[in-house]
């Protein structure tokens, strides 16, 4: 059994983790086998997240005064907190994909950049493109006008070269 001092240390540790995180999802995993939990934990870690099973009372206390305070009402039943520090959409996609094959996993709610989101919004976030995809699209859009300008500027020289080539062929 844990002593009061050990519980205070756990509370401070969890409070520190909550203070550092602005994005997290509250997940219920009632009836999920240990092998499946380990697989989910591995997939979340690969996506750049952190899966942690938490005690509800401790989580409610630790969330007070942090960005995750709005999710405190969902700390009931077997609960895990999935923090997404880098790519929120990728972690949300892992959770929703895993929930499709394992109905015991339910995303109850979440907090994204400090704003509370419900389960439906978590699914919408999962459908967003990843950060890398968005960056590549942005680079394409930034590069496109420069390519067009280069093409327009080179057109007169290209047209002159074509005309000279046709004149040479005509004389030959």
Residue 1 pLDDT = 61
Q: How many domains does the chain have?
A: 2
Count how many Cα atoms sit within 13 Å of the Cα of residue 24 in the half-sphere of its side chain: 29
DSSP 78: S
**Contact criterion met (CB below 8 Å) for 105 and 28:** yes
Domain check: are 107 and 143 in the same one? no
Q: Is 42's pLDDT higher than 90?
A: yes
Domain check: are 14 and 30 in the same one? yes
Q: Is 2's pLDDT higher than 90?
A: no
Question: What pLDDT digit, counting tens, does each position of 69-122 carry?
Answer: 777 778 888 888 888 877 888 888 889 889 888 888 888 888 888 777 887 888
Domain check: are 9 and 90 in the same one? yes
Residue 15 pLDDT = 80
Domain check: are 88 and 137 in the same one? no
Domain check: are 115 and 158 in the same one? no
Question: What pLDDT digit, counting tens, does each position of 5-18 carry?
Answer: 887 888 888 788 77
What is the Cα–Cα distance from 35 to 38, expressed in whole angstroms?
A: 5
Neighbours of 35 (CB within 10 A): 8
More confident residue, 21 or 9: 9
Domain check: are 147 and 171 in the same one? yes
Residues spanned by the domain of 155: 129-172
How far is C-alpha 14 from the geometric centre of its chain's CA atoms? 21
Question: pTM, whole model, 2 decimals?
Answer: 0.68
CATH, residue 106: 3.30.70.1730
Domain check: are 97 and 59 in the same one? yes
């Amino acid at each position: 059994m844990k002593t009061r001092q050990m519980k205070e240390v756990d509370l401070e540790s969890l409070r520190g983790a909550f203070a550092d995180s602005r994005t997290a999802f509250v997940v219920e995993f009632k009836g999920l086998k240990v092998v499946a939990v380990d697989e989910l934990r591995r997939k979340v870690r690969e996506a750049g997240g952190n899966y942690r099973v938490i005690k509800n009372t401790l989580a409610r206390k630790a969330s007070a005064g942090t960005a995750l305070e709005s999710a405190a009402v969902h700390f009931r039943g077997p609960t895990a907190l999935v923090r997404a520090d880098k790519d929120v959409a990728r972690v949300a996609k892992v959770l929703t994909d895993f929930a499709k094959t394992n109905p015991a996993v339910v995303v109850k709610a979440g907090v994204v950049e400090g704003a509370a989101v419900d389960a439906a919004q978590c699914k919408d976030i999962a459908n967003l493109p990843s950060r890398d995809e968005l960056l590549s699209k942005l680079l394409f859009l930034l590069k496109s006008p420069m390519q067009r300008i280069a093409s327009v500027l080179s057109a007169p020289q290209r047209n002159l070269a074509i005309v000279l080539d046709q004149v040479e062929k005509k004389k030959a």
